[in-house]
Amino acid sequence: MQAPVHHIIGLTSIVRERLLPISGTVLVRLGQKVNPSDVVAEANWSREHVLLDVAQLLGVSSNTADRLIKCKVDDRLVASAEIAVGKGLFPRSVSTPREGRVVVVGGGQVLIEVGDSKMELRAGISGTVIEVIPNRGAVIQTAGALIQGVWGNGRIDSGLLVNLAEKPDGVLTAARLDVSMRGSVILGGMVKDAEALKAAADLPVRGLILSSLYPSLIPLAREMRYPILLTDGFGPLVMNSVAYKLLSTNVKRDVTVNAEANDRYSGNRPEVIISLPTSADLPPLHEFETFAPGLQVRMRRPPAMGMIGSIVAVKPGLTTLLSGLRAPAAEVKLENGETVVAPLVNLEVVG
């Protein structure tokens, strides 16, 4: 049976696409070295649209209004620009209320984009551009440590890693944050109250890497302007030992926290990337493995959720579980010395 792989690995080759959501201009070239803050591509987008019903404003039919409209798609118009004039001795006219770009003309109406803003897409990681995707972005390759999480609030940023979790079951509180941590990425254990998230925003920090978050704080976490990544889930969960060891031994290094949503269809997962210098050719990541004795696994469901162990044996056929269900299962020795029988669907390979 194929096993999903939860990547927590100290050194590997990492390839990531960085794409604009809309068409824009790519600013990097093939082979270029980039830093996390470098702008890879940019695009202009409009926050608002204004619909002008020319036919109604002039009191004419749609076909007549179309003949009277002076502008066309992609025209840039200044505020108060006249776009249509009616007929008669005292003709009425239609003008633009704001500066903008014409996006649709037809049916006696004109749709205008207003409130232009510039969108900048940053590299997010240190690496080399190995592919340029015209009008959209680039593919960047780097070598380093990769720690995948289980949830993210949709933000991305980078900074120096500071450890405030002396052990995997640490709790991050507002009192532990001070001005010396401004601009840092905080390794902070679990968060139980809103004050900790707000205090991190007030500094501000460049990101929080947490073992867990209380479910009532999810709406607030999504509103924060900095990335929040959970390594293990929601509620009072400690950080799994593999992730904690790798993160806590890389303090004072620049890390990127990409707290994108966990999407099982695209394969995207929230992740922490720590770029490291190396001259070795590293093997690519594998997304699936086959369950076998000796593999290191992570428990995905209670009662041992988040714990790390190793497969002692894969049970033949179907095994009757404590719930009474029969399913493919394995015997797993947990890091605390306990041996349990777990359904394979509740396991993921760590590596």
Q: How far is CA 139 from CA 29, 44, 134, 185, in A?
A: 11, 21, 11, 24
The predicted-structure confidence for 276-292, as pLDDT tens digits, reads as follows 877 667 766 777 788 89
206 closest CA partner among 170, 156, 148: 156
Does residue 180 register a pLDDT over 90?
A: yes
pLDDT at position 266: 66
| Integer Cα distance of 238 and 225 in angstroms | 25
Q: Is 101 a residue whose pLDDT tops 70?
A: yes
Contact indicator for 119, 43 with CB cutoff of 8 Å: yes
- What is the average pLDDT score of the chain? 90
Nearest to 134 by CA among 19, 15, 16: 19
Give the tokens for residue 262.
Answer: 């966990």
The per-residue pLDDT for 288 is: 77
- In order of their start, the domains of the chain are 2-38+123-275 (3.50.30), 47-117 (2.40.50), 291-350 (2.30.30.30)
Determine how β-strand 207-213 pairs with β-strand 228-234.
Answer: parallel
- How much is the average pLDDT of 259-269? 78
Token couple for 289: 């493995």
- Predicted local distance difference test score (pLDDT) of residue 341: 92
pLDDT computed for residue 271 by the predictor: 94
- Are residues 204 and 182 in contact, defined by beta-carbon separation less than 8 angstroms? yes
DSSP string, 288-340: EEE--TT-EEEE-STTSTT-EEEEEEEPSS-EE-TTS-EE-EEEEEETTS-EE
DSSP 3-state assignment of 123? coil
The DSSP letter of residue 38 is S
DSSP assignment of 274-286 equals EE----SPPPPP-
* pLDDT over threshold 70, residue 16: yes
Q: Per-residue b/e over 45-68, b at no fewer than 16 CB within 10 Å?
A: eeeeeeebebbebbebeeeebbeb
Q: What is the mean pLDDT of residues 307-326?
A: 90
Residue 63: its H or E element: helix 62-68
Kindly report the length of the chain: 351
Nearest-angstrom CA–CA distance, 322 and 310: 21
Q: Please give the model's pTM, rounded to 2 decimal places.
A: 0.78
Query: How many angstroms separate the CA atoms of 53 and 74, rounded?
Result: 18
| Tokens (6 digits) for 74 | 């992609």
